[in-house]
Structure 1
Amino acid sequence: MKTVEHFFEKFIPENYNIFLDINRSEKTFFGNVAISGEALDHQIALHQKDLVIHSVLLDNQDLSYDLDQDSESVRIELPETGSMTLVLEFSGKITDNMTGIYPSYYTLNGQKKEIISTQFESHFAREAFPCIDEPEAKATFDLAIKFDQAQGELVLSNMPEINVDRREDSGVWTFDTTPRISSYLLAFALGELRGKTAKSKNGTEVGVFATVAQPESAVDFALDMATRVIDFYEDYFKVPYPLPQSYHVALPDFSAGAMENWGLVTYREVYLL
């Protein structure tokens, strides 16, 4: 039986600081990621699939690397082991596979439109950025996104937005640091979305969002249930919901029924609205 190589055994990530610049008109994205962690070997590998790796840096020094498409990886030679921060620049394409970063299509007033969202379970985060794309390799994530934004468009992710004033100047949406999660739970959605929010009894912000093709009232039932469910389970288990938000997004194109991204649950429209 063929064994699967576990990249986590040679590099243990602690934090990913990710920047993505998304161009919807050209269906491309460019990004960089600073991965802080501990290298246990001089030869490590990160997962990537169909990405172009432009550079790998350690302390501003270029490192030698090779792409291994068979194992969906980039293999890196390190001059040392121990704690370090690797910085990778990369680019990729947005495809209609409904994995990684992908467009979701809908029609408004006879015109075809789209929103961009993610599906990283079970092993598709590697299509969006280089990472140790294994469930055991839990880490924290800092995400920042820029895109060809039009009036009224927004970005949602697992955590609340921070540095709003800076975004108004730079166009970069920045989100607070996540708790330690597996790579497949990171998520975002962007485009002409609208929704409603409410507060649970303990102050969690609950929100339900959909495309503008849906009537505003379409989110009301889901918002009411999501808020009451959090209140019920907090009382039943005597454990507080651990994140500042619980957002739910209805996607026109979605391969599953729903995906439990912590803080930003994504759904096929018919199952949420």
Structure 2
Amino acid sequence: MAEQLTHFYEKFQPTHYNIYLDINRQDKQFSGTSTITGDAKEQSISIHQKFLDIQSVQLDGQDLSFTRDDKQEAIHINLPKTGEVKLVIAFQAKLTDTMMGIYPSYYEVDGVKKQIIGTQFETTAARQAFPCVDEPEAKATFDLAIKFDEHEGESIISNMPEIRTENGVHYFDTTMRMSTYLIAFGFGELQSVKTTTKSGVEVGVFSTKAHQQSELDFALDIAKRSIEFYEDFYQTPYP
């Protein structure tokens, strides 16, 4: 008999996430907080996590007890109430070379080995980066803030434009309502080229410095012309 699949979204429906990450490449680890605002349909809810060391779960400044369930890649939480709640979950984890979640990639420039950090959350690997309801239907908005062991000449990009930097923390604008697996970011020694479409949409292409300028120009040209083509074809502006 097949095991029944449990949808966490049926019990808890997030509407907004505030994600803070502090990433240390030298120690190959990261820590952070996932602040989740949502609608609790029941008092017993579950949040996805995989390979995360959950340090605490709080509601209204009060610690909540939780149980870890590695089989379901989750923690189970008993809430004192239903309705709108704001959970603050503190955690830490290790960076690994699995190319899932948050991971390093390596390349060489003039014989010197370099590293960038990137993400791969599709299909169910956002839970390896931060506690969340990691199901496609569980759409929410996201505010992302990232600190890392930054060196001169490095930059960081994410889904949304960076709006400010304070005390080494990079803050990004609020996303549209979307699934957890669509969150993405990367940082390191990056180069970029940008242009603007006929309708005024800014388009950019980023890469490591291992790539030639001509490669970026080619990708940028294709991206620009693709947006212009589909705007005309569907008679719908982007975004």
Fold-level match, TM-score > 0.5? yes
SS of the residue aligned with 1:146? Answer: strand
Question: Aligned runs of 1:151-166 on 2, under 5 Å?
Answer: 151-163=152-164
Indicate the residue corresponding to 1:246 in structure 2. Answer: none
SS of the residue aligned with 2:203? Answer: strand
Whole-Å separation in 2 of the counterparts to 1:161 and 1:77:
36
Whole-Å separation in 2 of the counterparts to 1:230 and 1:213:
27
Q: How much does 1:202 deviate?
A: 2.1
Indicate the residue corresponding to 2:135 in structure 1. Answer: 134
Q: How much does 1:171 deviate?
A: 1.1
Residues 6-37 of structure 1, C-alpha deviations (whole Å, 9 max, x = no match): 00000000011101000001110010011000
Q: How much does 1:217 deviate?
A: 2.7
Unaligned regions of 5+ residues in structure 2, if any? none
**TM-score, normalised by the number of residues in structure 2:** 0.98
Residues 82-131 of structure 1, C-alpha deviations (whole Å, 9 max, x = no match): 00110011011110100000111101222211100000000000000000
**TM-score, normalised by the number of residues in structure 1:** 0.86
SS of the residue aligned with 2:232? Answer: helix
Give % identity.
56
- 1:216 and 2:213 aligned: yes
Indicate the residue corresponding to 2:194 in structure 1. Answer: 197
Count the aligned residue pairs: 238
Moved more, 130-139 or 233-242: 233-242
Counterpart residue identity of residue 16, structure 2: N
Q: How much does 1:215 deviate?
A: 2.2
Whole-Å separation in 2 of the counterparts to 1:159 and 1:13:
20
Runs of 4+ in 1 over 6 A off after TM superposition: none
SS of the residue aligned with 1:221? Answer: helix
SS of the residue aligned with 2:150? Answer: coil
Whole-Å separation in 1 of the counterparts to 2:238 and 2:90:
36
Q: How much does 1:219 deviate?
A: 0.2
Indicate the residue corresponding to 2:183 in structure 1. Answer: 186
SS of the residue aligned with 2:178? Answer: coil
Unaligned regions of 5+ residues in structure 1, if any? 243-273
Two-structure CA RMSD over aligned residues (Å): 0.9
